[in-house]
């Protein structure tokens, strides 16, 4: 996919420190160089941003997932946006493949914040013109913004990968909880497979307990799908339950690999044979594992950026 030279010459791709590898892959895909921008720290820990050359009238795309360290990466994004706004950029699109605080999208008890809405307010106040993100934990977060939000799905990328595997008629796509049924159905439709659902409860935050499984998994290859793998408790417990009920193989696919605490160790010791993730969050060397396969969202994100820049439909790409 390409756009005319005059239009792409006005496109300026920047990156923060959260995932420069992904930014470089996007740049390679769309055929531009990453604009020279310094993002660092003053001695007192405050964010420091310096843009090397004029960006007056440019269309800026800032690649910065708000992954760990979450608050540092979020603040860097806000300050980069402010710097671009004050430098008279024509438009500023925040490319936020992983949107932090998305699981705090509503009040579940009294006196709780709705942090996902607060983050949206901060982004708009900083001066963003548009947000491009991938697999929001709750789709309604798009409504927290008073600017356009392009919500890209990872399901087509995951489906392309799994279509290359010889599963025959044995595949069943499994939702690890009731809230993820729509996500599981979407991938199942791509793969033309049935679905099953794990019913679980959370006795404490970050912990999951399997209660029952709805659907047929005996003798099947179970593909669990979720948007975020954090502590990996849900996936590991789900894999154990699926094997007990006769699944001959358990694999998993998750868009955002947070992998906090000892998640990688738990995955290595689990009944899962493979975990497929995307590069919306950078995977540091200490989190590499023979069980983990990384797919890149760069081509999909790059195509969306090109369509935004050329004022073409973005929704067609999501299909």
pLDDT at position 206 over 70: no
* % of residues, the chain, pLDDT over 70: 94
Separation between Cα atoms, residue 36 and residue 59, nearest integer Å:
15
**Residue 192 tokens, joined:** 């033309």
What is the structure's pLDDT at 143?
97
If one counts the domains in the chain, the total is: 2
Rg of the Cα atoms in the chain: 20
Other C-beta atoms within 10 Å of 275: how many?
Answer: 26
Q: Are residues 279 and 306 in the same domain?
A: no
More confidently predicted of 211 and 109: 109
* % of residues, the chain, pLDDT over 90: 87
Buried b (16+ CB within 10 A) or exposed e, 161-183: ebeeeebeeebbbbbbbeebeeb
What is the structure's pLDDT at 119?
98
pLDDT at position 58 over 90: yes
Over residues 32-43, mean pLDDT:
97
Q: What CATH number is attached to the domain comprising 80?
A: 3.40.50.2020
**Residue 99 tokens, joined:** 């949107």
More confidently predicted of 2 and 84: 84
More confidently predicted of 111 and 319: 111
What is the structure's pLDDT at 284?
97
Least confident of 69-78, 126-135, 207-216: 207-216
Phi, psi (degrees; rounded to nearest 5) at 174 = -115, 130
Over residues 39-49, mean pLDDT:
97
3-class secondary-structure state, position 34: strand
What is the structure's pLDDT at 8?
85
Q: Are residues 90 and 127 in the same domain?
A: yes
3-class secondary-structure state, position 238: helix
Q: Are residues 55 and 97 in the same domain?
A: yes
Active site residues: 200
What is the structure's pLDDT at 200?
73
Q: Are residues 27 and 119 in the same domain?
A: yes
Q: Edge-to-edge, what's the strand order for the sheet holding 249-257? A: 209-214, 195-201, 171-175, 221-229, 249-257, 274-278, 292-295
What is the structure's pLDDT at 212?
86
pLDDT grade for 203, boundaries at 50, 70 and 90 = low
Q: Are residues 281 and 305 in the same domain?
A: no
**Helices (DSSP H) in 63-202: which residue ranges?**
70-86, 115-126, 155-163, 181-191
**Beta bridge partners of residue 292, listed in sequence order:** 275
Q: Are residues 167 and 288 in the same domain?
A: yes
Beta strands in the chain (DSSP E): 11-15, 37-41, 47-51, 59-63, 91-96, 130-134, 149-152, 171-175, 195-201, 209-214, 221-229, 249-257, 274-278, 292-295
More confidently predicted of 260 and 206: 260
pLDDT grade for 103, boundaries at 50, 70 and 90 = very high
- Average pLDDT score over the chain: 94
Contacts of 153 (CB under 8 A, 6+ apart): 134, 135, 186, 318
Contact between 211 and 200 under an 8 Å Cβ cutoff? The reply is: yes
Q: Are residues 182 and 276 in the same domain?
A: yes
Q: Give residue for tokens 């200490």.
A: 286
pLDDT grade for 319, boundaries at 50, 70 and 90 = low
What is the structure's pLDDT at 9?
87
pLDDT grade for 113, boundaries at 50, 70 and 90 = very high
Nearest to 318 by CA among 134, 88, 99: 134
What is the structure's pLDDT at 2?
47
pLDDT per position as a tens digit, 132-159: 999 999 999 999 999 999 999 999 999 9
Q: Are residues 136 and 33 in the same domain?
A: yes
Q: Are residues 32 and 109 in the same domain?
A: yes
What is the structure's pLDDT at 133?
98
Q: Helix axis angle, 298-309 relative to 20-30, nearest 10°?
A: 60
Separation between Cα atoms, residue 259 and residue 265, nearest integer Å:
10
Over residues 280-309, mean pLDDT:
97
Q: Are residues 16 and 141 in the same domain?
A: yes
Over residues 93-103, mean pLDDT:
98
10, with CB counted inside 10 A (0-12, 13-18, 19+), is: middle
Q: Are residues 18 and 41 in the same domain?
A: yes
pTM score, two decimals?
0.94
Contact between 264 and 289 under an 8 Å Cβ cutoff? The reply is: yes
Domain span at residue 160 reads 155-295
Q: Are residues 19 and 149 in the same domain?
A: yes
């Amino acid at each position: 996919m390409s756009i005319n030279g005059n239009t792409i010459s006005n496109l300026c791709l920047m990156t923060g420190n959260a995932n420069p590898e992904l930014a470089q892959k996007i740049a390679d895909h769309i055929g531009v160089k990453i604009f020279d921008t310094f993002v660092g720290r003053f001695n007192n820990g405050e964010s420091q941003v310096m843009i090397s050359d004029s960006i007056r009238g440019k269309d800026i795309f800032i690649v910065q997932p708000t992954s760990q360290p979450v608050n540092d990466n979020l603040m860097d994004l806000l300050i980069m946006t402010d710097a671009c706004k004050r430098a008279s950029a024509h438009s500023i699109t925040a490319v936020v493949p992983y949107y932090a605080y998305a699981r705090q999208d509503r009040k579940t008890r009294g006196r709780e914040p709705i942090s996902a809405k607060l983050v949206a307010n901060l982004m708009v106040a900083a001066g963003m013109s548009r947000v491009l993100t991938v697999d929001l934990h709750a789709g309604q977060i798009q409504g927290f913004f008073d600017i356009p939000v392009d919500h890209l799905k990872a399901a087509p990328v995951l489906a392309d990968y799994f279509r290359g595997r010889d599963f025959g008629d044995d595949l069943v796509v499994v939702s690890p909880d009731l809230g993820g049924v729509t996500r599981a159905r979407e991938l199942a439709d791509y793969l033309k497979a049935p679905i099953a659902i794990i019913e679980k409860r959370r006795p404490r935050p970050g912990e999951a307990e399997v209660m029952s499984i709805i659907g047929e998994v005996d003798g099947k290859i179970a593909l669990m799908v979720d948007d975020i793998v954090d502590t990996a408790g849900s996936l590991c417990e789900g894999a154990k339950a699926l094997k007990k009920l006769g699944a001959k193989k358990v694999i998993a696919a998750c868009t955002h690999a947070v992998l906090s605490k000892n998640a990688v160790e738990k995955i290595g010791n689990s009944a899962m044979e493979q975990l497929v993730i995307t590069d919306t969050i950078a995977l540091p060397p200490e989190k590499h594992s023979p069980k983990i396969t990384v797919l890149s969202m760069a081509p999909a994100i790059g195509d969306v950026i090109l369509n935004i820049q050329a004022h073409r439909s973005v929704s067609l790409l999501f299909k």
